[in-house]
Amino acid sequence: MQHQRLFILGAPKCGTTSMAHWLSHHPEIAMSRIKEPHFYNTDMGNRTITNMREYESLFDISPQTRVLAEASTWYLYSDAAVPNILADHPDAKFVVMTRDPIEMAISLFYHNRYMLHEPLETIGAAWAAQARRARGDGLPHDCVEPAFLQYQAACSLRTLVQRLQERVRPANLLILHLEDLRTDPGTGYRALLSFAGVTDDGRSEFPVRNEARQHRSKLLGQAFKKAARLKRRLGLRVRLNIGSLNKAPLTAKHVPDDVRAEMAHTLADQRVPREMTARRVSA
């Protein structure tokens, strides 16, 4: 049986984790066991899975399965991911989840702090460092992917979506907005099910996943990060759940007024409007 392929391309911090969790319980959808394998973004350094056989083994297929889906949020940013996907799956369907780009940039900074990608203590310092980091100056010594720290480029959602629209047939692209999902998650969820070509499973509860967090101890966080990297190098699949003891909710995101004003000026035209529809692929 030929299964429909569905890719939630991103963007980061736009509700993709919650959506992937909801879809993972749908009987006709096989979500990748690793939410973000990043197999197809061959131009970036954050690929979790690099072998096709291992990638295909991430999907647990049952007789009910009609759709194979994954949610690698940096596919939208990657220049290579969508062409690579279409080379393997010409009829693939794509979902983009967006939000206000300023709020996205703020959330991405705090996410990078939590993931220990971002060593700078304030969002103002991180925003000001983008130009020199783009030149390769001032990058953390263990930086996995420099793009993680390019907040303006990563949050230029309208530009990224316009590029995507030049590559994907209109009927194969769905755009959802986080603000809408927050107020009415059921409507967005059912729109995605219809787009994917599966039946409504009657889901009525929509728990939020991947809310902002911080480390209780940065030193412990760095130790767990090193252990996780060693585990990946050794090819181990054992989960290190002890790291959860070091997690705490992030209760406040401090953004000085002048920094927010600079972000608002820079990202002024990068919100994806609701009336934005897919254009025909130039090819």
Instruction: Give how many domains the chain has, as a whole number.
Output: 1
DSSP-assigned letter for residue 35: S
Is residue 93 within 8 Å of 171, Cβ to Cβ? no
> Is residue 236 a part of any domain in this protein?
no
Q: Write down the pTM of the prediction.
A: 0.85
pLDDT per residue as tens digits for the range 4-25: 999 999 999 999 999 999 999 9
> Is residue 279 a part of any domain in this protein?
no
Ranges of beta strands (E only) in 158-236 are 173-177, 213-215
> Is residue 272 a part of any domain in this protein?
no
How many CB atoms within 10 Å of residue 62? 8
d(CA 132, CA 130): 6
> Is residue 242 a part of any domain in this protein?
no
DSSP-assigned letter for residue 27: T
d(CA 15, CA 130): 25
> Is residue 283 a part of any domain in this protein?
no
**Domain enclosing residue 147, as ranges:** 4-212+250-266
Give kind and range of the element (H or E) at residue 258: helix 257-266
> Is residue 271 a part of any domain in this protein?
no
Q: Which residues on adjacent β-strands are paired with residue 93?
A: 6
pLDDT per residue as tens digits for the range 242-267: 455 555 555 578 999 999 999 999 99
d(CA 238, CA 168): 38
> Is residue 225 a part of any domain in this protein?
no
What pLDDT is recorded for position 217? 45
> Which of 155, 169, 160 is closest to 282 using CA atoms?
169
pLDDT per residue as tens digits for the range 34-64: 999 999 999 999 999 999 999 999 999 999 9
Tokens 């966080």 -> residue: 221
Q: How far apart are the first and last CA of the chain?
A: 29
> Which of 276, 261, 251, 213 is closest to 102 using CA atoms?
261
> Is residue 61 a part of any domain in this protein?
yes
Confidence at 229, pLDDT banded by 50, 70, 90: very low
CATH code (residue 18): 3.40.50.300
Q: Kindly write down the DSSP assignment for every residue of 76-129, as one continuous string.
A: TT-SSHHHHHHHH-TT-EEEEEE--HHHHHHHHHHHHHHTT----SSHHHHHHT
